[in-house]
Amino acid sequence: MMQIVDRFLNRFTMYRLTLYYLAALLGLGLVLSTFGIVPVDPVGILSSTAILLAVCFGANALFARLFRIRTNPESSLITALILALILAPASVITDIRQAGIVALAGLVAIASKYLLALRRQHAFNPAAIGALFSGLVFGGFASWWVGNMALLPLVVVGGVLLVRKVSRIRLVGVFLGAFLAFNVALALVQGLTLDLVLQSVIFVFGQTSLLFFAAVMFTEPMTSPKSFPLQIAYAAIVAFLYQPQLTILGQNLTPEDALLIGNLFSYIVSPSFKLRLSLKESREIGSGIWAFTFMKPAGFTHKLGQYLEWTLPVPHGDSRGSRRHFSIASSPTEPDIMIAARFSPPLSRYKQHLSRMEPGSKITAGELGGDFVLPKDPSIPLAFIAGGIGITPFRSMIKYLVDTGARRDIVLLYSNYREEEIVFKDVLCDAEKKAGVRVVHTLTDKDRTRAGWQGRTGFIDAAMIRSDIPDFATRHFFVSGSPGMVNTMKKVLRNVGVPRRHVRSDYFPGYST
């Protein structure tokens, strides 16, 4: 079932999926308000949405031109739709003042992306900034009208799909769990009886604003930490400050207050940045697989196995947008930054544009993150399982071991369709000779495997794991590849008895082709 869901989600980027989700919520809210089910003026919804879309899109284009920054217009539309769902709708016909406040909130939200940016990256959720401005300056605090029970089914279903897409299920789970724990604890401290505590919990979780907040605003990749341990602290901070019964200095914090404080924490412990990188070389390294090498800026470094978000100005883009996440294939010991990607037809507009890049062409990279990193403890025996282009993070790890002269107890199972798709053979050969890595190749296209092939054939399964990694029960497994391959391997490892805590998979936001 989840493989079907993932195949559907892989048709869209995170940004495009978020845009469709927010538009669907607004559309449903408009229909339900027309029949009085959602107590909001439908003309106000239309008016506010139109104002915010125009202001946010126009302001984003203006600021991008002034600051000479290439931006994704979808992000400005997402900010506009979030504000349309949380600010009190206002009609330009009946309430021109409130309509003006809505417009100013949109302008401030977009301006914050440029004026409150640090290292070319905004530090605070723009929609939360816009809502805070509206409340502090004009007293028009966000109404969060999206928190209506009639919208609950779409909020939940769409929210789950979105969280699945950005691979933040654990983060949302921690946030909601922490919110529940704090909510119950504060209620008991305040002397409420157990039945009233239960009613409070049901009321709060029944308000879809909490679930909408968790799925859309709280999980924004650019303003939340990149590693899971820091995400736990971030979730706890925001969940505590979000509590409706909490007062600080006699004041109740709003959801946007809680989020912005969490954003500040995130920036302090996990700062974001953007880099303008120049292409040095592109070359085909395997059948349909290309490597792209970019000049490394001074001072840049990364952990072994991390990824970056790569943005290209794609004209007339498709539903998958202008951004992708690619694992860094190069080691910090190398002078350049390298990524690799498979180019299988039909190509997305993004990959068409990427394939036509010439030396000297520019690309924007940022959002360095990921917990799929080589353990620091060299005594831990490891098993790497790579499917196709999933070899890239392992190439970074293995190349580092070769360059530094370190040796690790590692077994690599590397699966490809055909022999011509095997890449980084030189690094893998060096790793076997110099770093103690044992490499096992397997090809899944048995009919086109040449005579004399020395490796395995067939998909990696339980029998292959037992045969090639007989001490599998004591090893820590790292699995990298397509979502379908990763999910299958996790089930195989679970069935052979590998503890769940010993399996780590390379998930990053928005796997797409």
Residues 365, 389, single domain; the answer is no
- Domain finish residue from 238, 269, 300: 269
Lowest mean pLDDT, pick from 37-51, 205-219, 314-328, 427-441: 314-328
What is the number of domains present in the chain? 3
Mean pLDDT for the stretch of residues 465-470: 96
Residues 120, 215, single domain; the answer is yes
pLDDT digits (tens, 9 = 90+) for 1-50: 666 777 788 777 788 899 999 999 999 999 999 999 999 999 999 999 99
State residue 67's pLDDT score: 84
Report yes or no on 374 lying in a domain: no
**What would the 3-class secondary structure string for 290-308 be?**
EEEEEECCCCCCCCCCCEE
pLDDT digits (tens, 9 = 90+) for 361-390: 999 998 888 889 999 999 999 999 999 999
Angstrom distance (rounded) from CA 28 to CA 24: 6
pLDDT band at 222 (very low <50, low <70, confident <90, very high): confident
From residue 506, give the alpha-carbon distance in Å to each of 410, 412, 485. Answer: 17, 15, 11
Report yes or no on 512 lying in a domain: no
Please choose, from the candidates 468, 465, 469, 471, the residue with its C-alpha nearest in 3D space to the C-alpha of residue 492: 465
State residue 512's pLDDT score: 44
- Domain finish residue from 236, 269, 302: 269
From residue 37, give the alpha-carbon distance in Å to each of 21, 41, 91, 139, 277. Answer: 20, 11, 19, 27, 51
pTM of the entire predicted model: 0.82
Residues 340, 249, single domain; the answer is no
pLDDT digits (tens, 9 = 90+) for 243-261: 988 888 778 899 999 999 9
Q: How many CA atoms lie within 13 A of 361 on its CB side?
A: 15
The CATH number of the domain where 361 resides is what? 2.40.30.10
Lowest mean pLDDT, pick from 43-57, 119-133, 187-201, 365-379: 187-201
Residues 465, 358, single domain; the answer is no
Residues 349, 399, single domain; the answer is no
- 176, 142, 85, 212: CA torsion to nearest 10: 0
State residue 43's pLDDT score: 95
Q: CB neighbours (10 Å) of residue 89? A: 26
Longest dimension (CA), the chain: 80
- For residue 511, pLDDT over 60 is answered with no
Residues 481, 389, single domain; the answer is yes
Angstrom distance (rounded) from CA 195 to CA 288: 62
Angstrom distance (rounded) from CA 471 to CA 137: 64
DSSP 8-state class, residue 242: T
Residues 234, 343, single domain; the answer is no
pLDDT digits (tens, 9 = 90+) for 280-338: 999 999 999 999 999 999 989 999 999 998 988 776 655 566 778 899 999 999 999 99
φ and ψ at residue 341, rounded to 5 degrees? -145, 150
Residues 349, 398, single domain; the answer is no
Report yes or no on 426 lying in a domain: yes
- Domain finish residue from 207, 236, 269: 269
The token duo for 492 is 């195989």
Residues 103, 135, single domain; the answer is yes
Report yes or no on 320 lying in a domain: yes
Please choose, from the candidates 95, 138, 85, 130, the residue with its C-alpha nearest in 3D space to the C-alpha of residue 111: 130
Report yes or no on 377 lying in a domain: no
Angstrom distance (rounded) from CA 494 to CA 349: 38
Mean pLDDT for the stretch of residues 174-201: 86
Q: Cβ neighbours of residue 172 under 8 Å, at least 6 residues apart?
A: 163, 214, 215, 218, 219
Report yes or no on 353 lying in a domain: yes
Report yes or no on 321 lying in a domain: yes
pLDDT digits (tens, 9 = 90+) for 129-184: 999 999 998 887 899 999 998 999 999 999 999 998 888 899 999 999 999 999 88
Report yes or no on 431 lying in a domain: yes
The CATH number of the domain where 391 resides is what? 3.40.50.80
Angstrom distance (rounded) from CA 294 to CA 282: 9
Provide, rounded to the nearest whole percent, the portion of the chain with pLDDT above 70: 95
Residues 282, 410, single domain; the answer is no
State residue 11's pLDDT score: 78
The token duo for 180 is 């529940």
What range defines the domain where residue 404 resides? 382-505
Is the omega angle on the peptide bond into residue 346 within 30 degrees of 0, that is, cis?
A: yes
Cite the DSSP H helix spans in 221-366.
228-241, 255-269, 349-355
Residues 19, 49, single domain; the answer is yes
Residues 293, 169, single domain; the answer is no
